[in-house]
Each structure stands twice: as structure tokens, then as C-alpha cells.
Amino acid sequence: MRRVRTISLFSGCGGSDLALEASGFHIVWANDVWDRACETYADNIPDAMIECGDIRDVPRFPSAQLLVGCYPCQGFTQGGRRESDDNINYLYQEFDRALRYVLPRAFIVENVAGMAYGKNRELLENQLRRYRLAGYHVKWSVLNAQDFGVAQDRKRLFIVGVRSDLEKTYEFPEPTHGPERDKAYITQRDVLTGLPEWPIGEFTDQTLNWYYMSRKRRADWDEPSSCIVGNWRHVPLHPLSPPLRRIHTDKWVFQHRGRTRRFAYKECAALQGFPTAFKFEQGSIRDRFQMIGNAVPPPLFASVVGGLNHILHVANG
């Protein structure tokens, strides 16, 4: 069976593409604008060619059966800016341009879950409309990474489209982990055991200020972590830190004294579902947090793409 030719846009350090390579897909071209992310990608996915640069400067694309993209929409993320008119929120138009140029059999988009709610829903509807006009049957869903074997409570929105002329349908995967499922949630203990307890230099020791303590930033050892974000100041507390107690809506305090710290970047990578062999050696420590927090958890993406096997693993077309 021929490997499915795939184009990856807004690839970051390669979370989605690591899952694709492991699933037998052939990434013929990838792109990201951040040089540190491109270098990390090349360190870990050497069989794929990633071109670093602004997607708006790319005039044409190779042929492919699958197009994937994780374009940023920072105005709608929980941890980023909330400027809904920011130009970065309209990079989906570049994905749409590539989609119409390549006309793959199918596409996958991953984005922040906040786009699905409230006034933000308009941006989601704009994307769905564009992709349907491009000739695709389109479905979307918000999935939680912890339901698919990732040790993290992380909700993300996925859009999947199948070319209309193929007369095939896509169904989102059913959760595999959690209560009343075949498998229990993967916990922090499962992925952090064996890592250094206090890896000096791999986490920020900035003060836990009032804003940081306005949210519940700690989960117990035998629970998945809360969401891993790209800002090293806002990543969750390591479970060796004392438990938290809620004082009121926007204030949490430690129940007793003890050593406290945020997660280290290698711990964040493990909680995102990256294998220990994945190398984060490029850029500053702060850069590595950003790459990891912005990445797609590979096990989650593998679950989403698995539903396309009956559409993609056929003769080229």
C-alpha cells in the first residue's frame, strides 16, 4: 500500500506530523514561520522536508491526498491575547487557499476550543463555510486529549473535511480512556515517574503572583494534568507541590507549606504525549515551553486521523 502524500501547514515542532509519520503517512512538504520550531521539527522528523517562512509568501504547493493545519487563532485561546481582530486570527484563509490549490481527498484542522463558543463562533462558521464552498463535506468537534490517552485535560477543536465527489463520510473517534471506558485515564504519575524531581534550569522560578494563583493550577498525582500552555509562567504546578485550597472565585492558596514549582519543559512534553526520544534542543528554555505548549498532542491527532484510513489508504486520486 502506498504511503499517503501529506502536506502539513503551521506545523510547529511537529506534534501532528509525528503522529502522521508513525501512522504511515508520507509528509511531502511542511511549513512553519518560526525558525526554532522548524529546527526542532527537522531534528525529530528527518524524513519530512519542512520549509521555514511565511505561508503567505508560498505561491504553490505539491500534490497530496491529505492536508493538515494547526493555524493559530490567539484571540480565542484561554492563555493568549483576546484580540479577535488580530490578523493572526485569519490565517485560516491561507489554509483555504492551499486547500483549493491542492484539492486533497481530505483535510484536518486543529485549533483552540474557545472558537466554538459565544461570539467567537462566527469565526468558526466562516471557516466551515469556506471549506464547504471549496467542495468538502465538513464536520467539527471539540475533543479532550485525556479521553485519548494523553495525561492532560486539554480540549481542542477539530475540523475534518472529505472531498464531496468521493461520497465517503468521516466520523470522529469515540473516547478510549476514562470512566466506563476500556482504559483508565493516563495520569501524571504514569508519565512523570522517573523524571528528575527538581531539574534546575528546566523550569521558571518566577514568583507565583496573584494572577497565577487566581486559578487552580495543580492536579493530584493520580489525575491528568490541567492544560499545558505555551507560556512558561503559566504552566501548571508539579504535583509534588502542596495541594491548593480555594478561598474565593479568583484566589487559591496552598493548604500547607512545602516546596513548590511549575512543570519543567521535559515534563510538559511528556504530558503532551511526546515520546522521551523526541528532542527539544533548539532555542532558549522559554522557546521550548512555547513549542511544546502550542503543539498538538500526538496521540490525540493519531486518533483523529485514524478515522480517515478508509478514505485515504487507496490508490492516489
Domains of the chain: 5-174+296-310 (3.40.50.150)
Q: For residue 13, indicate whether it is catalytic.
A: no
Q: What is the mean pLDDT of each run of 10 residues along the chain (317 residues)?
A: 90 98 96 98 95 97 97 58 56 96 98 89 94 98 98 98 96 96 97 97 96 97 97 97 96 97 98 98 98 98 96 67
Count Cβ atoms within 10 A of the Cβ of residue 13 and give its class: 0-12 exposed, 13-18 middle, 19 or more buried: buried
Question: Which H or E element spans position 192?
Answer: helix 188-192
Residue 7 near residue 29, CB atoms below 8 Å: yes
pLDDT reported for residue 119: 82
| CA–CA separation, 17 and 215 (whole Å) | 32
Predicted local confidence at residue 178, as pLDDT: 97
141-147-150-154 Cα dihedral, nearest 10 degrees: 50
Catalytic residue among 13, 38, 73, 268: 73
pTM above 0.85, yes or no: yes
